[in-house]
Each structure stands twice: as C-alpha cells, then as structure tokens.
A and B are shown apart, each in its own frame.
Chain A
Amino acid sequence: MYKGFFSLILHAHLPYVHHPEYEEFLEERWLFEAITETYIPLLMAFERLDRDKIPFKLTMSLTPPLLEMLSNVSLQEKYIRHMEKLIELASKEIERTKNESPELHELAKYYKKEFEDILNAFIEVYKCNIIEGFKHYNSKGNLELITCSATHAFLPFYKDYPEMVDLQLKIGIKAFEKHIGKKPKGIWLAECAYYNDLDEYLAKNGLEFFFLDSHGFWYAETPPRFGVYRPVMTPNGVFVFARDPESSEQVWSAQIGYPGDFNYREFYKDIGFEREYDYIKPYIDRSGVRVNTGIKYYKITGRVGLDKKEYYDPKIAFETAKNHARDFVTKKIEQVKRLIDNFEGEPPIIVAPFDAELFGHWWYEGPKFIEYFFRELKNQDVISAITPLEFLEKIDKVQIVRPAPSTWGANGFNEVWLNGKNDWIYPHIHEATERFLKLSKKINYQNKLHKRALNQALRELILAQSSDWAFIMTTGTSVDYAVTRVKTHLNRCLEICKWLECDKIDVARLEYYESLDDIFKDLL
C-alpha cells in the first residue's frame, strides 16, 4: 500500500515561430533544438520504459503554439533539412577529430549516431509529427495531456477584458481538441499566473484542474490544511494543485540542483562558437551569426572558465543521472514519510512541475534522469507516480480555498512580464484588444470577407499577447526579434481593424498576412 503520491508535470511550450517566406530562419531553430534535445529524447525514454514494462505516469502540457508548429508540414520539412545538415556536420567532425584527440573522435561519432537515430525516429516512427508519439502514451494511460491558453498569454494583464481571457481559453481548448482528438480536462496557466476569479472562466470552459506555485496556496485567504500537498477546490469548483518547493529546488536550482553536476554536459561550449568561421559557416545562421549547433564536447567540469573545461563523457554523465534519480527517489520517500506523520493518515501528493525544455535542452541528461527515476520508483512501495486526475478520483473530501494571485516567475509575482524593459507593450496590446473586441460585436458575420479579416486580426492580436516576448525583453537575449514580433503583429492587427472599421478590406494584403501569420489556420 502506497503512502504517498508523486506527480511530475512537464510544461512543453515555445512561442509560435514560423517564417514561411524564408528558407531558413534563426529563431525557428528554437523548435528544432527542442525536438532534438527534449521532445524526441523524452519519447525515446517513454519507449524504453514501456519496452521494459516499467510503470510510469506523468503529465505534460503541450501548448497550442507548440502543437501548431509540430503539426506544420513546412516546419517539419525544415526540421528534416536542419537535421540533414547537422548530420553532415557531425560527419565532418568525425573526420576532423581523427587528428585532434581520441576522446573528441568518439564524441563526434556519438553525436552522429544520436542525430541519425533522432531523425530516423522523426521520419519513420512518428511520420514527421511527434504529437503522435505523445498521443500514443496518452492513450496507453502513461501520459496525461493538458492544454494552455491559446498563445501562452499572461492572463492577469487581461483581467479587465474578460472576453479576451475567455477567447484565449476557448482557442486553447479548441486547438488541443484538434491535435489530440479530445477535450482537455486540465490546463497549465501560462507562467502559473492566476488572478482572483479567473477560476470562473476556467469552470465555464469545462476545465477541471490547474496548477499554481506554492505561495498561491500559502497566501490564500484561508490556509489550506495540507499546505501544498493536497489539491484544493476554488470557489467556482475547479481543482488546483500546488508546486512542491523542495522538488523544484532539488531539480531546478542552479547552485544546488542536480543539473549543475560537474560530470554533466556544458551547455555554453558548442562548436558553433568554437570552430573557425569558414568551416562552421554552412552550419550556423545564414547571416553569419554563430549559433549553437548541438555538438558540445565538454562537461561542466567545475567552477572554471570556458577555456578550462574538460572533455565530456556520456557514459559517466548518464551514470551520474542514474545516481541522481536514485537520490531523488530517496528524498521523495523521506518527504512522504515526513508529511504523512502530520497528515492524520491522509496520503500527500507531491506535485513537481517543470519547463519540459529543462530536460534535454538545458540539462542534457534530463530525459535520462526521468527514465531512471521511474526505474528506481519501481523498486519501492512508499510512493507511487500518479496523474492529477487519478489522484482526484481517490479523494472524497476537498477543502474549498480561494487561491492567492501569484506566478511562478522570479519573486513570485508579475515583474518579469511587467518592468521598465517591456511595459511599453501593454498600452498597445490593450488598445488592439479593445479594438478587436469592439469589432467582434459589430461586424456582420454573414460577410465572409469581414469574418476572415476579423479572424486574422485575432491571430495577430493573440500572437502579440504571447508572454514570451515580454519575457525575452526582460532576460535580454533575442530582444530585437521579440520587439519586432510584437510591433509587427500589433501593426497588422490595428491595420486590419481599420479596414473593418471603414469597410475597405485590402484582400491581397489580408491574404499576405494570412500566409505569414498562419497559426490556427483552420481553427478560426
């Protein structure tokens, strides 16, 4: 009999980046890197667990922009070309490292095989659409899938536009239905951002559960009796789970977390930045800007400069991941035992949400860690992996709590998405939102052209609302791109609104915008 439960939640999200007018586009690499380093390695880990009959349970939010990109044929083709070039580079590296060192030579061979395996799985196993892979484990009961707001909008900033919040949720649900084939029961709120009474809109849209950071529970009006280790119900009848701070710290923290182990692969030393320009030029961005290729030969080594790093050894690194997984299981068992002593016999649930891209992209050995974690979990009987829905089926009574407005961003509130670097976007986004909402009540929906124009205005609007742009402006990498995206989408939205306001639709231009900003093509 298990004493407690553990729920791993992976939030998989990337902003919608698709530039059909370019053969290659730097920021489209974000998706390609995530497929190669996170999504397919995760699917491969699931496959190995399944093959070895290891029980595993986890939850993933696949956001609507991510689903739209993964199913986009043009991006799928671009991904294949990207991988072919990467494999070509790996082959060159095999030749080149022959004279450099046997360790590097082995690593080059390792990468070539990795990339070939991944491309092969992409084409042969998933038929170029890896959503199928996730759906497969969903139907087998291992993987609970949930949705997100349409474009990962930071909903508290639209609190005074309830119709906009509702639309973000509705489109998020529709997109999930289209790609996954059923209605989502749960939602990941972008940035875990919650405001008072948002639950009303979640309930109205048939969403049964969501997640908050720990202080969303701790600072609630009434303290939840079991802290963050049991779900509560909001006044509007939606279940909510809270993040376990201990698990987050053990895995996330840059200082004491597992990913900082010296044997793990160093993210910041990539041959894209190391090899001489003429040699690497065909494999970096066309503009000549150096980028990560994914071929990295060094380990973290220690607190030393990039020039003092030592060669990476995948075998040792994976062994380390196995030890960390074992340690994590031990810690979770201890935690459950500690909790249960205080809990009057009620079993606790430890909820551990992470950005999916932490595993694989940032922490290269992350998918292996997850695999080993489930293998280790099989060898004990104190704690069992569970999905939120399964846990809800086990309980008869739940406390009703009004959670506290909160986010999972730095400092726990809104400053990452609202500060001196990005606050300029909100007057424009709000204005565009108002203009759109006003038109949506006014236009004649029988007029097909007007309806089409309104839909494109909505596409532009929600693309601008994606929380990623404000985030990028704060963190400081790719700022120009984020600024351009926000300005472009808002300008297009306002332009289309103007057409509708004076009943003069520029059809050619509308068609052009439809071809460029093609998210939710057949949904709106």
Chain B
Amino acid sequence: MKSENYDSMSLKELRKEAKKKEIKYYYRLKKSELIKILKKEAMKNLDKKDIKKIIDSNPPMSEIRKIAASLEIKITRKMKKIEMIRLIKEKIKSEEKTTQNSKTVSSQNSIKIEKEIQKIEHEKQESVPKIPELPETYNKDKLVCLPVNPHWIHIYWDFSDETIQKLKNFKKVKLRIHDVTYIIFDGKNAHKTFEVEINPLEVKKYYFNVPNARANYIAEIGYENGTKFVPILRSNLVETPPNSPGSSKEEIWIDLKSLRKEKQRTKGMLVEPLKKEKKIESSVSPEHYTNN
C-alpha cells in the first residue's frame, strides 16, 4: 500500500492530489474534508489481492481497521483481530463473486464519493442563510397616504388582531378619501368625499384617483352600519402636488443686505414655461399600478 501521508500535507498539496484523483469539487472542500475523502479513495483503489496480502502479513490493528472501514464492514471496539480478518476475507470473497470486473467497483466507489461530496455541498448551502421574508403584518392599526402625482394617491394599511376581529363582523368595509383642502377636518366637513368598497383583509393597498392637484386629502377606513359610515382608522394628511402655475397675485422680494421685504403686484413670469414633452400635464394612467 502506497502510504500517502495526507495528514501532514498542506492544503495546496491536498488539492493537487485531489485533482490528480479527479475528485469533484475538491477546491470547495475544507482540509479535513479533503483528507477524509482522499484516504477513503486510497483504500478503495487497493486491489483485492493487495488487501489479501496485507491481511496475511499480520498487519497492525490500525491497518486492519482502515481496511475494514474502506470495505464498509461494521466493526466494534470489542472485536478481535481474528474476527475482523475473517469478516474482511468474507467480504472480499462475496465482492469477487458479485462483481467480476474491478471497473464496476471503482465506478461504484466514485458514485459513493460523489454522494458524499453532494452531502457536504448540501450542508454548505444550508448554512448560507436565506433572506427571511419581512413580516406580513406588524399587528398595528395604520392607514397611510403617500402622494404619487397630482391625481393619484397611494394608500396602504395594516390592522391589529383586534381590528381584524371587529372588521370580520361587518359585510361592507369602505375606503374613503376626503378632500380637506384649507380646512381642519372634523370627520364631517370635507369638501367632497369619495369611497370604494374594499376587502381590507385581502388587499392592503390601493391607488386612489383624485380630481384635484394642489389639494389636501385624508383617507378613512370604516364599515357601513345601516346607512351610517363608521370610521375605524384615519390616515395622515396628504398633499397632491400642483401641475399648473399658482394664482397668487403678490410677489414678495427681499433685499439681501437690509433684509427688508417688499411686496409687488406680480407681472407673471417674464419667460414662458417650456412645455416639457407633454410630461407634467398628463398624469400616469392607472394601469401602471396594480391594486393587489
């Protein structure tokens, strides 16, 4: 038996050896893993005749154990040397009967090695943490409006378990948008209110098309109790951005030295705004958005 002393080899040498032996994925294996596989491989490549010779030459116990391990013979600590030798001899005989040519044996061996490597690979992949998904809910009551453009508002919501239980009791749940431009909203004084029926337990966001740019909106989610709308959640205030020049008639100027302010009647802009390729005028159509 060629005694390759894998234990004393460096990682570089081990890799070289593994490459020579055509061990797959050798470059990804750790030093200890390489040694293990190389040793096994070395044993498996031993000719059966060589094994017999070794056994007959009264080898030390450690050598016998190695051979037994390579032939996948189960040995226990209590086993005597003679017993082991007997088991080895039997195993060789039976293998010689079933497999006439050694090529099959070696290809079987290579399949085993591949499996082993696959196992190691698999373990490695498992150890790479997958990105956990973000929570589906934070168990909090929340209704939030964000401005998209002059005519669209994005709304998202989340509920506490308590609210979910409450909502389950009502058939008609609605999302309302109130135009609250220039007013302090008291729940009833909106200039205009728009509503849609939603299934708030399945859908958690909505894009609302609103008529006015340069306006303030507040959203509410609530349920219908007879003819009455009972709000459960109210959102923050959202401002739709303007898409046309403002209407103020008064210019304010400041003198940067004296910091004195001075008012003048506006003459409008001295240069006309350039029409930017129809850009700003058209608000994006709803098919750009998905509502679920």
Contacts and interface: CB of A to CB of B under 8 A. Distances in A.
A233 B134 contact: no
A244 to B, nearest CB: 9
A222 B264 CA distance: 11
Interface in A184-238: 195-196, 214-215, 218-229, 233
A224 B269 contact: yes
Contacts of A405: 147, 239, 241-242
A127 B279 CA distance: 45
Interface centre among A220, A419, A491 (most CB of B within 10 A): A419
B148 A413 contact: yes
Interface stretch (B106-114, B185-193, B224-232, B246-254): B246-254
Q: How large is the interface on A (under 10, 10 to 19, 20 to 34, 35 or more residues)?
A: 35 or more
Contacts, number: 159
A95 interface: no
A430 B149 CA distance: 20
B60 interface: no
Given A343-B270, A406-B241, A156 B147 contact: yes
A412 interface: yes
B253 A400 contact: yes
Given A222-B252, A400-B261, A487 B148 contact: no
A157 B144 CA distance: 11
A218 B274 CA distance: 10
Interface in A421-455: 423, 426-428, 430-431
Nearest to B271: A227
Interface centre among A228, A431, A484 (most CB of B within 10 A): A431
Contact of A214 (B154, B253, B276): B276
Contact of B134 (A221, A246, A413, A490): A490
Interface in A126-155: none
Interface in B130-155: 131-135, 138, 140, 142, 144, 146-150, 152, 154
B290 interface: yes
Contacts of B133: 487
Interface of B: 131-135, 138, 140, 142, 144, 146-150, 152, 154, 156, 158, 204-205, 207, 214, 236, 239, 241-248, 250-257, 261, 266-274, 276, 279-280, 282-284, 288-291
Given A413-B147, A414-B149, 8 more contacts: A223-B248, A344-B270, A404-B242, A413-B241, A420-B207, A427-B144, A487-B134, A488-B131
6 tightest A-B CB contacts, nearest first: A420-B290, A413-B149, A221-B246, A227-B271, A222-B248, A405-B241
30 contacts: A214-B274, A218-B245, A219-B245, A220-B246, A221-B246, A222-B251, A223-B246, A223-B269, A226-B271, A245-B276, A246-B274, A344-B270, A395-B256, A396-B256, A399-B251, A400-B261, A404-B241, A404-B242, A405-B241, A406-B241, A412-B279, A412-B280, A413-B280, A415-B284, A426-B156, A427-B138, A428-B135, A431-B138, A491-B132, A491-B134
